[in-house]
């Protein structure tokens, strides 16, 4: 078994054998999950329409922490994507998501395992249709969650946070791996304002520059993302993409709109999504959406309409 993948399970075994667990239930891991299902209707431009139920990255996981000394805490997480509509993806019914073992203290946080890169995390929920058909990953290339990652996150200093990740896949010595396939970001938060910059160096064969900004004004949230990339495995040169989004909360309703364009995934890629959420309570909601996808290759154009339900526990 890959030791990095097994780390959270090792941490759980240690906890279960510790006498302190019997005395302090706060040391036990927390079980959590999310069920997100939509009924969708697809209307391709040059094919017949179809309807189906889709699971949108539904997941289960465990997470926890264990203080080991003053100012030092071991943290762990093991998360897996599940498919409630009984259609395996990648020939598996479970796929691994963020799964890591780490430590945190006054120096920041250090993680080892599988985790979202700093560039992926930089979007900070600017993507209002995350995990749905309108997810920005369908247009941009830097939404990565690689294995064998060493990931450092600094403490907040004057509103700034620095994050750095490197792939340690055993192909070179540590000194080389720390600079060969990397992702780094810097973010700044000041009240309702958020901005960030990230750079990927040969991360999944891509060199990437990403810029984001977000502003909240009461119940209104505005966001924008720009990304430029170059892939070392093709000769297409540099491609760029841009997204803008807006969300307005009205009591239990959230009105959402998002549009973007990019040549990174497909030439002339364009995408617009509109949606509304109705929050039933703090853990569940129902929603409706429409996503229109276009490109220079009209054979893959598609309009999708759907309604769904989400429950978090």
Digit-coded pLDDT (tens) for 220-260: 999 999 999 999 887 778 999 999 999 999 999 999 999 99
pLDDT-derived band of residue 111, with 50, 70 and 90 as boundaries? very high
Residue 26 within a domain:
yes
In this structure, are 254 and 303 located in the same domain?
yes
For residue 299, give both structure tokens.
Answer: 């054979």
Q: What is the mean pLDDT of the chain?
A: 90
In this structure, are 75 and 164 located in the same domain?
no
Closest to 59 measured CA to CA, from 81, 78, 37, 38? 81
CB-based contact 18:29 (threshold 8 Å): no
Q: Read off the CATH number of the domain in which 136 is found.
A: 2.40.160.10
Q: What is the reported pLDDT for 46? A: 78
Residue 287 within a domain:
yes
Q: What is the reported pLDDT for 43? A: 93
In percent, how much of the chain has pLDDT > 90? 77
| pLDDT tops 80 at residue 195 | yes
Residue 152 within a domain:
no
Q: How many CB atoms lie within 10 A of CB 33?
A: 15
Residue 151 within a domain:
no
Per-residue pLDDT reduced to its tens digit, 155-171: 999 999 999 999 998 77
Length of the chain: 313
In this structure, are 193 and 279 located in the same domain?
yes
In this structure, are 91 and 136 located in the same domain?
no
Q: How many CB atoms lie within 10 A of CB 256?
A: 20
In this structure, are 127 and 268 located in the same domain?
yes
Residue range(s) defining the domain that contains residue 61: 1-39+46-114
Q: What is the reported pLDDT for 91? A: 54
In Å, what is the CA distance from 147 to each residue of 66, 141, 144, 198?
Answer: 24, 17, 10, 19
Residue 97 within a domain:
yes
Work out how many domains the chain is built from and give that number.
Answer: 2
In this structure, are 162 and 218 located in the same domain?
yes
pLDDT-derived band of residue 3, with 50, 70 and 90 as boundaries? very low
Taking every pair of Cα atoms in the chain, the longest distance, rounded to a whole number of angstroms, is: 64
In this structure, are 125 and 260 located in the same domain?
yes
In this structure, are 211 and 97 located in the same domain?
no
| pLDDT tops 70 at residue 88 | no
In this structure, are 277 and 208 located in the same domain?
yes
In Å, what is the CA distance from 240 to each residue of 228, 260, 262?
Answer: 4, 11, 6
In this structure, are 132 and 105 located in the same domain?
no
The neighbouring-strand residues paired with 134 are none
Residue 150 within a domain:
no
Per-residue pLDDT reduced to its tens digit, 34-66: 999 999 999 998 788 999 999 999 999 999 999
Residue 148 within a domain:
no
For residue 197, give both structure tokens.
Answer: 């910059």
Residue 135 within a domain:
yes
In this structure, are 136 and 190 located in the same domain?
yes
In this structure, are 173 and 310 located in the same domain?
yes
């Amino acid at each position: 078994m890959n030791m990095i993948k097994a780390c959270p399970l090792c941490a759980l075994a240690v906890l279960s054998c510790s006498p302190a667990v019997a005395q302090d239930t706060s040391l036990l891991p927390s079980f959590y999950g999310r069920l997100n299902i939509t009924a969708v209707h697809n209307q391709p431009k040059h094919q017949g329409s179809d309807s189906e139920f889709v699971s949108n990255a539904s997941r289960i996981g465990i997470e926890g922490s264990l203080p080991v000394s003053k100012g030092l805490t071991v943290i762990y997480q093991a998360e897996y994507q599940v498919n409630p509509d009984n259609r395996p993806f990648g020939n598996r019914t479970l796929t691994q998501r963020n799964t890591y073992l780490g430590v945190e203290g006054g120096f920041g946080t250090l993680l080892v395992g599988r985790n979202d890169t700093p560039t992926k995390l930089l979007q900070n929920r600017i993507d209002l249709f995350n995990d749905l058909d309108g997810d920005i990953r369908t247009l941009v290339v830097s939404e990565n969650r690689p294995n064998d990652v060493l990931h450092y996150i600094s403490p907040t200093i004057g509103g700034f946070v620095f994050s750095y990740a490197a792939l340690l896949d055993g192909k070179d010595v540590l000194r080389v791996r720390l600079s060969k396939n990397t992702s780094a970001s810097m973010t700044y938060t000041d009240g309702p304002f958020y901005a960030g910059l990230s750079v990927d160096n040969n991360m999944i064969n891509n060199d990437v520059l990403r810029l984001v900004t977000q502003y909240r004004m009461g119940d209104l949230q505005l966001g924008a993302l720009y990304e430029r990339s170059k892939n070392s495995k093709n000769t297409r040169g540099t491609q760029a993409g841009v997204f803008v989004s807006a969300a307005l909360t009205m009591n239990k309703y959230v009105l959402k709109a998002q549009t973007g364009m990019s040549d990174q995934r497909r030439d002339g890629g364009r995408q617009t999504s509109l949606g509304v959420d109705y929050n039933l309570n703090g853990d569940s909601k129902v929603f409706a959406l429409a996503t229109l996808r276009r490109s220079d290759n009209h054979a893959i154009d598609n309009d999708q309409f759907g309604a769904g339900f989400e429950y978090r526990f």
